[in-house]
Structure 1
């Protein structure tokens, strides 16, 4: 039985797919091996396998029948020609040494087609695209994106200024681990100016952006494509920035432009206040006597805060691959902190994984709303509530036409903060589902994982 059912929590009803799904549910890597429906004469263009990706046009050809997805053969990418660039795995905010240059989003060599090595008896067909002389670090999965009827139109909306905010936040966290915040009080100008400055930064020449990359002794700054040090890739470029108190860290030299830095500082201060108000309302809704029990973890001295500015450029390689073909911008993962607060421009791309009544995972697209904030439950909050709230698995996909720019504030506690279920939330006789750890210990463990890994598994005492 699912944990939600055991605790009397609602389980999601089936998502209205609008049509039958052909092919498997996405696996933990976020990719789906391409298949043909047995009765179709043309490939299902919405299903693709991981392929070498670049901004030039990529053509997909039909190959001979191949083995099922687990046996799909992919050419090795080899070893990177330079050390991996710094990027916190799943936005954990890890610090590590990295190269000062990033792989630019530049055109790859012309594509060639690879014929897999085995045949499937039922005549299924796979499509695999590789590149002649491929860049050795540019393996980015193509995904089947949810269709128009798979939009998550019932995203919980919390009016942060309304009297029912506390109850609405708890209900959304119990059901989805995710919600949208409106009437948050952040001026539109604060968001718009920060976005405009970010667009200007990413519009610079690649050499200028590379100069904003991390130093050997300080890993924050500009990077692209590489996500962590364990092989995850995405079609994005980004700024990863450290936050001290309510502004960017003085030790972080990026961004160096006064206007951009000022705009981000104003935005960070505002969104940090939103995060604190959300956590205070959450404590009220949970019946915790100390209203600051959660918010103080992320506003107190030494709190581990990280801020990301992500840019997902259009991906011309997707042209001609079908309307549901997308490239991985940021692979599926959960956020390890307490909560994360996201805001993006008007371009969609965020997707969350829901489960229907049969516990089948279904990816749904989240409609974009540039005037609102989206809040994710993080792994740490899942532990603090003993699994009452569950961290939401999410990802970002790109398209061939529009850029997506997003800001994410990650609210984490101090490294020495003890992470364990809050005593006020444990019923009489209820045992903790997790062994106690500190935030620093969890960061260290998470740093060694891939994006899609279940990081909490090694800290579980019981099956959830």
Structure 2
């Protein structure tokens, strides 16, 4: 349950604007090798250059799994507050209204999970093994398997979405003409990769119809790539190069992909990390699940040499480690330009 004081609600109130719908490119990850895959790679590169955002079809993640995870997450967020707040500690934690350490607030509660390279959560450190798993929702999703606890569903989901992220990064390398094919994806697939799964819940807001609250404020994602799925509810908005906001239409089948700060660095600014936010109305609860694919803490980040040209083009960013960047980004506000201190 999200509870904010009157002053806090005023802090996150937004004008009741209706931005235009975003025109989001679609990339088919199942395209067969040959002309179709080459076309998908070109579309992906164009989307990363123009918006830093696209949706992916042909991802291979079963809809039954997605629906079961969403139902189990909704069941967790419906638990009494004391039970949710007891689900804290590494590598997982429950949070409410406060986002990061910079003082940002939102109409949000969330689970944040640290993942292994295989996309799983260490079971011994996960306190949810006794939680109900929404058997009714699983039945509604036509699952034939025995009812799984939330932990097991999140493990399976994270592993599946991590494969999507790696497949997209390999297609991206192909579109950029980078070799080897895993030049970028191996940063997410490494045994020490800093991958996370964030499950956000935005309850209906206590405002008048037509009024809006900030669910998750304007920001870019620090990691290489983000793979997002929501429960078919509006609220996600992206900013164009001119700063104007556009509303992302809900999609029951696709995943949405964000270019992250680290990928902007790797491509020397050719791909732009997309600014985005979530706004909340009083109408419907929103549940979103975001896989955040980051490199190992000690990985050194700098523009890929193959993207600097044969003449050794100018690098826009100095070399730094992911640990250094993550530590720096956590000290600021969501809206801060976190890459500025690392520019040449």
Provide the residue aligned with 2:277 in structure 1. 395
Change (3 A) 1:432 1:451: same
Q: Cα RMSD between the aligned structures?
A: 1.6
Provide the residue aligned with 2:41 in structure 1. 166
Provide the residue aligned with 1:418 in structure 2. 300
Deviation at 1:161, TM superposition (A): 1.1
1:446 aligns with 2:315: no
- Contact kept, 8 Å, 1:241 with 1:252, in 2: the verdict is no
1:296 aligns with 2:186: yes
1:364 aligns with 2:239: no
1:263 aligns with 2:153: yes
- Whole-angstrom distance in 1 between the partners of 2:3 and 2:188: 39
- Contact kept, 8 Å, 2:123 with 2:151, in 1: the verdict is no
- Whole-angstrom distance in 1 between the partners of 2:42 and 2:2: 45
Provide the residue aligned with 1:456 in structure 2. 339
- Whole-angstrom distance in 1 between the partners of 2:162 and 2:334: 25
- Contact kept, 8 Å, 2:91 with 2:126, in 1: the verdict is no
- Whole-angstrom distance in 2 between the partners of 1:140 and 1:173: 32
Provide the residue aligned with 1:105 in structure 2. 2
Deviation at 1:447, TM superposition (A): 1.1
Q: What SS does the aligned partner of 2:244 have?
A: strand
Change (3 A) 1:448 1:107: closer
Deviation at 1:326, TM superposition (A): 1.1
Provide the residue aligned with 1:143 in structure 2. 14
Deviation at 1:280, TM superposition (A): 0.4
- Contact kept, 8 Å, 1:352 with 1:393, in 2: the verdict is yes
Q: What SS does the aligned partner of 2:149 have?
A: helix
- Whole-angstrom distance in 2 between the partners of 1:219 and 1:141: 29
1:203 aligns with 2:85: no
Provide the residue aligned with 1:222 in structure 2. 94
Task: Find the partner of 2:239 among 329, 353, 362.
Answer: 353
- Whole-angstrom distance in 1 between the partners of 2:150 and 2:265: 36
- Whole-angstrom distance in 1 between the partners of 2:168 and 2:125: 27
Specify the structure having the higher radius of gyration (Cα): 1
For each residue in 1:158-206, what CA deviation from the matched residue of structure 2 results, as whole angstroms up to 9, or x when unmatched?
1111222211111110111000001111110010000010010001111
- Whole-angstrom distance in 1 between the partners of 2:91 and 2:114: 10
TM-score by length of 2: 0.89
Change (3 A) 1:145 1:454: farther
Deviation at 1:147, TM superposition (A): 1.7
Task: Find the partner of 2:196 among 306, 309, 314.
Answer: 306
Deviation at 1:221, TM superposition (A): 1.2
Deviation at 1:138, TM superposition (A): 5.8
Structure 1: state its 5+ residue gaps. 1-103, 109-130
Would you tell me which structure has more helix in proportion to its own residues? 2
Provide the residue aligned with 1:89 in structure 2. none
1:237 aligns with 2:237: no
1:188 aligns with 2:63: yes
Structure 2: state its 5+ residue gaps. 32-36, 132-147
- Whole-angstrom distance in 2 between the partners of 1:301 and 1:191: 25
Q: What SS does the aligned partner of 1:440 have?
A: helix
Provide the residue aligned with 2:221 in structure 1. 335
- Contact kept, 8 Å, 1:235 with 1:329, in 2: the verdict is yes
Q: What SS does the aligned partner of 1:327 have?
A: strand
- Contact kept, 8 Å, 2:91 with 2:125, in 1: the verdict is no
- Contact kept, 8 Å, 1:146 with 1:363, in 2: the verdict is no
TM-score by length of 1: 0.66
Structure 1 runs (4+) deviating above 2 angstroms are 104-108, 137-140, 249-252, 254-258
Deviation at 1:372, TM superposition (A): 0.8
Task: Find the partner of 2:121 among 248, 251, 265.
Answer: 248
Deviation at 1:146, TM superposition (A): 4.3
Deviation at 1:255, TM superposition (A): 3.0
Provide the residue aligned with 2:54 in structure 1. 179
- Whole-angstrom distance in 2 between the partners of 1:294 and 1:365: 29
Deviation at 1:145, TM superposition (A): 5.1
Q: What SS does the aligned partner of 1:387 have?
A: coil
Q: What are the equivalent positions in structure 2 for 1:111-126 lying under 5 Å apart?
A: none
- Contact kept, 8 Å, 1:221 with 1:254, in 2: the verdict is no
- Whole-angstrom distance in 2 between the partners of 1:400 and 1:138: 13
Q: What SS does the aligned partner of 1:406 have?
A: strand
Deviation at 1:361, TM superposition (A): 1.3
Provide the residue aligned with 2:264 in structure 1. 382
